[in-house]
Amino acid sequence: MIVKKLNCWEYNKCGREPAGKKVDELGVCPAAVDASFDGINSGKNGGRVCWAIAGTFCEGEIQGAFADKRDSCVNCEFFKMVNSEDEVNDTSTKLLKYLVDTTNNSFLCELVYKRVKAGERFLIQGTQEKTAYIIQKGTCLSVVEKDGVLHPVGHRGKGDIVGIRALFTGEPRSAHVEAETDLHLWVLNKHQIDNISRSDPELLSLLTEIVARQFDSKRPVADREIGKYVATHIIGRGSYSIVYKAVHKALNMPVAIKMMRHNMVVDSGFLLNFHKEARIIASLNHENILGIYDYEERYKTVFIIMEYLEGESLQDLLQRLRVIPPALAISYIYQICEGLAYAHEKGIVHRDINPANVMVLPNDRIKILDFGLACHLGTEDEHIGGVLAYQAPELLEGEAADQRSDIYALGISAYELVTGQKPFDDKEISEMFRLGTSRKIGDPALLVPDILPELREFILKACQHERKKRYQSVPEAIETLRPAISQGIKKDSNNSDRGKLTTIILRYDQKQQAALNRLLTDFSIKTNTIGVDLKLVDLSD
């Protein structure tokens, strides 16, 4: 039987959880809304590590940071209960349990014992050391120091290992580590890590998995030097990679850096795909395709240095707005077509076109992202990959992808943009595949009566089950869309025929750009519904 693990507000019954009985009087507890601690100690938000979060309400008053409330926290019955539960937590990343259960005693025999007193900082951020520690008893807190502020980022207890990330990659320490309680530790030296790859592949796999998990933090991260670049914070996550925002040290130019997760590097197939993605994007130079600048291989993984984009994914925009107005949707689809036409001309099929892999930039410019599954035309590849809802029927039959497969995925994306829903869910697709029946898409005009005729025609033809009935090339699809785009441009030039004109001037800095873009998109949609045109002009100082 699974025992429910209580969060702090459930244990203390303080009433400060969202919609709690004391929220009106005291406000919502920061531990209940800080989602950056989700999953730690199997907790919701910060509800299992409330001592790591400033501003919690305990003992009748608002508390400070952990350094200020340490004594009361370590003596709290809830703190003791969480640590006690964590000690018997049988997770796959408990290194001590693995070592005790293994038949390889030679590794255990080399470990040296160490004791650390409560309150002591025993690992220092930025230092280059050659030891890691396995916790036999007690708990500790990882703290990132960034811009003069201390940010608790993780909690470790019995069976966990601390300091392994720096030891594994050879980088400086990425965080301070402070003992919450008295700690009993086993010291792990670098030469032991180096020997593991030769003597115990299973243990190496476990350590690699632990390192990969430690990189994926929702909390602030320490600045990290990657060749000529300094990575400052995480801006994206995927199943096999993490994306950082970074800056070129000499040029002070912002970039994005995609890092392959360390546990994926050991898979030669994923590593080959990562190298392939870098080469493919580097060969493409188009305004509607994400640009790549550089490639680095270090710290036992690989990095792709890419163009940094301000904006939001088409998927996020769709989730926020529910539907995209037809006139805006056709502009997005047209730009994606332009990018795909260029890629196809270069002999590249994307194979993973969907709203999550399209970025909407300021002024509604579009960039196609993530060429991780891309291949050259005519490539035989048994690996389908991608999101099932957007995969062309022939790919499920094991046929090779071509430009018409990308066209199908774009047609499904266009249907979703204007209707707010996918034409088929995964269950329906699987059932149609099992029965051998054709996928026949519904007419989007039934859901969106004011859909532009050109966009409706594009969707219905692009989403044909048989690829011979679809557009045979993207330029052919562009010809269908072009009249609507041209009419939009002509309409813009005839604005003088409209009635009144109102000018709004907004003064803002670069940090406010993304939030302002979202606000203006919402405003544009609302003005459009009442027949008012909103035009944006970028004015210099």
Map residue 422 onto helix, strand or coil: coil
Both 490 and 367 in one domain: the answer is: yes
Closest CA to 409 of 374, 479, 459, 468: 459
Q: Which of 194-198, 208-212, 476-480 has the highest mean pLDDT?
A: 476-480
Lowest model confidence (mean pLDDT) among 246-260, 281-295, 350-364, 373-387: 373-387
Establish if 539 belongs to a structural domain: no
The Cα–Cα gap between 76 and 81 comes to: 9
Residue type, 263: N
What's the pLDDT score for residue 495?
46
Q: Which residue has the higher pLDDT, 82 or 380?
A: 82
Map residue 83 onto helix, strand or coil: helix
The Cα–Cα gap between 49 and 36 comes to: 11
372 close to 273: Cβ distance less than 8 angstroms? yes
Both 142 and 236 in one domain: the answer is: no
Confidence of residue 66 (pLDDT cuts 50, 70, 90): confident
Establish if 522 belongs to a structural domain: no
Final residue before a domain boundary, out of 160, 182, 215 = 215
Closest CA to 374 of 287, 279, 464, 294: 279
Say what percent of the chain tops pLDDT 90. Answer: 36
Per this entry, what is the length of the chain?
541
DSSP result, 136-164: EE--EEEEEEETTEEEEEEEE-TT-EESH
Both 236 and 201 in one domain: the answer is: no
Establish if 540 belongs to a structural domain: no
Establish if 144 belongs to a structural domain: yes
Burial readout 292-306 (b: 16 or more C-beta within 10 A, e: otherwise):
bbbebeebebbbbbb
Looking at the structure of the chain, the number of domains it has is 4
Is the confidence at residue 287, as pLDDT, over 80? yes
- Supply the Cα-derived Rg of the chain in whole angstroms: 27
Tokens of 311: 């904006």
- pLDDT (mean) for 387-402: 88
The Cα–Cα gap between 7 and 318 comes to: 33
Confidence of residue 498 (pLDDT cuts 50, 70, 90): very low
List, in sequence order, every beta strand (DSSP E) within 363-452: 366-368, 375-376
The Cα–Cα gap between 433 and 465 comes to: 12
Lowest model confidence (mean pLDDT) among 44-48, 102-106, 245-249, 461-465: 102-106
Residue 439 DSSP code: P
Residue 289 DSSP code: B
What's the pLDDT score for residue 541?
45
Both 479 and 333 in one domain: the answer is: yes
Is the confidence at residue 526, as pLDDT, over 80? no
What's the pLDDT score for residue 119?
87
Strand 112-116 to strand 183-189: parallel, antiparallel, or no bridges (unpaired)?
antiparallel
Domain assignment of residue 119, given as a range: 95-215
What's the pLDDT score for residue 504?
75
Closest CA to 144 of 168, 183, 173: 173
| Cα angle for residues 412, 433, 377 (degrees, 5° grid) | 60
pLDDT in tens, 462-485: 999 999 999 999 999 999 999 988
Map residue 116 onto helix, strand or coil: strand
Both 303 and 317 in one domain: the answer is: no
What's the pLDDT score for residue 528?
58
Establish if 529 belongs to a structural domain: no
Both 203 and 335 in one domain: the answer is: no
Q: Which residues contact 311 (CB under 8 A, 6 or more apart)?
A: 359, 360, 361, 362, 367, 514, 517
Is the confidence at residue 493, as pLDDT, over 80? no
What's the pLDDT score for residue 458?
97
The Cα–Cα gap between 412 and 410 comes to: 5
Burial class (CB in 10 A: 0-12, 13-18, 19+), 32: buried
What average pLDDT is seen over the chain?
84
What's the pLDDT score for residue 513?
64
Both 423 and 352 in one domain: the answer is: yes
Residue 102 DSSP code: S
What's the pLDDT score for residue 265?
80
Both 303 and 318 in one domain: the answer is: no
The Cα–Cα gap between 400 and 4 comes to: 48
| Cα angle for residues 120, 122, 123 (degrees, 5° grid) | 140
Establish if 418 belongs to a structural domain: yes
Establish if 525 belongs to a structural domain: no
Supply the CATH number for residue 289's domain. 3.30.200.20
Both 344 and 482 in one domain: the answer is: yes
pLDDT in tens, 299-309: 988 999 999 99
Say what percent of the chain tops pLDDT 70. Answer: 85
What's the pLDDT score for residue 382?
53
359 close to 313: Cβ distance less than 8 angstroms? yes
Centroid of chain to Cα 248: 22
pLDDT in tens, 121-155: 999 999 988 899 999 888 898 999 998 888 888 88
Final residue before a domain boundary, out of 42, 63, 87 = 87
- pLDDT (mean) for 232-243: 87
Which strands make up the sheet holding 241-248, listed edge to edge?
Answer: 224-226, 229-237, 241-248, 254-260, 301-307, 292-298
Tokens of 149: 């502020």
Residue 293: HSE in the Cβ half-sphere, 13 Å Cα cutoff: 16
Both 319 and 460 in one domain: the answer is: yes
The Cα–Cα gap between 453 and 445 comes to: 9
Looking only at Cα atoms, what is the longest distance across the chain? 86
pLDDT in tens, 262-283: 888 877 777 887 887 788 888 8
Supply the CATH number for residue 334's domain. 1.10.510.10
17 CB neighbour count, 10 Å cutoff: 22
Q: What are phi and psi of 151, to 5 degrees?
A: -120, 110
Establish if 511 belongs to a structural domain: no
Is the confidence at residue 384, as pLDDT, over 80? no
The Cα–Cα gap between 410 and 366 comes to: 14
Map residue 493 onto helix, strand or coil: helix
Both 368 and 439 in one domain: the answer is: yes
Is the confidence at residue 492, as pLDDT, over 50? no
Supply the CATH number for residue 114's domain. 2.60.120.10
What's the pLDDT score for residue 99?
67
Final residue before a domain boundary, out of 269, 291, 307 = 307
Tokens of 115: 């004791």
| pTM of the shown model | 0.77
Confidence of residue 26 (pLDDT cuts 50, 70, 90): confident
Is the confidence at residue 351, as pLDDT, over 60? yes
Both 140 and 274 in one domain: the answer is: no
